[in-house]
Amino acid sequence: MARPKLTTSPNRRHQILEQAAGLFKTNGFNATTMRQLAEQTGMEAASLYNHISSKEELLREICFSVANDFNAHLLQLEADDSCSSRKMEAIIRFHIHMLLTKYNDVYVSNRDWKHLKEPWLTNFLNQRKQYENRLAAIIQQGIDAGKFKPVHPHVAVLTILSAVRSIEYWQRSKKAISSKQIADDLVMMLLKGLEQ
């Protein structure tokens, strides 16, 4: 009667997920084959299906893991009573932190979410839209308080989120400039502007 086994099974699955994130990042979701992934994890392609149910499931776990992290952080920040400026700085720094610590996952989630299947695709997009709306609300509060320039809040949100993604380019050659320097420059530029 099916006793639980407690072998290395959960580790193995986690290991597959990590390798998948690396391959997805490097080659893209579509261009990554199950045979490549199998080779990296030291087994045959068919054997992967003892641990996962489909290729898309791997992508799904990556995307929603990242989405959950961002949602959790924002939820915690919204409860805070600091001013809009500090909140926006915290958000920018958290995005940078996520890109630095979970580079593969965030990169794949940013680029390959289109390959999610329904109903998860719709769910993912709804979560993202909600996230952007909540950021826009924070910016609107800053504008109302006279702390931010009267730009359209949604434009500001997308500008900031796009700008933060420039970190993706630095992750590869992060020797030349320190992560802290990049993060500080980014926060400065986005909040105070490039001009003196």
**CB under 5 to 8 A by kind: which of DNA, its own copies, none does 125 bind?**
none
Size of the site for its own copies (CB under 8 A): 42
Q: Which of 7, 162, 173, 196 binds DNA (CB under 7 A)?
A: 7
**Angstrom distance (rounded) from CA 193 to CA 187:** 9
**CB under 5 to 8 A by kind: which of DNA, its own copies, none does 195 bind?**
its own copies
Q: How far is the CB of 3 from DNA (least distance, A)?
A: 5
**Angstrom distance (rounded) from CA 81 to CA 83:** 7
User: Does the protein bind its own copies through residue 191 (CB under 8 A)?
Assistant: yes
User: Does the protein bind DNA through residue 47 (CB under 7 A)?
Assistant: yes
**Angstrom distance (rounded) from CA 108 to CA 126:** 18
**With contact defined as beta carbons under 8 Å apart, do 192 and 149 qualify?**
no
**With contact defined as beta carbons under 8 Å apart, do 160 and 92 qualify?**
yes
Gyration radius (Cα) of the chain, Å: 20
User: For residues 7 and 162, which CB has a smaller minimum distance to its own copies in the complex?
Assistant: 162
Both tokens assigned to 142: 């800053």
User: Does the protein bind its own copies through residue 172 (CB under 8 A)?
Assistant: no
**Angstrom distance (rounded) from CA 139 to CA 148:** 7
Binding footprint of its own copies on the chain (CB under 8 A): 28, 30-31, 85, 88, 114, 139, 142, 146-149, 151-152, 154-156, 158-166, 169-170, 177, 181-182, 185-186, 188-196
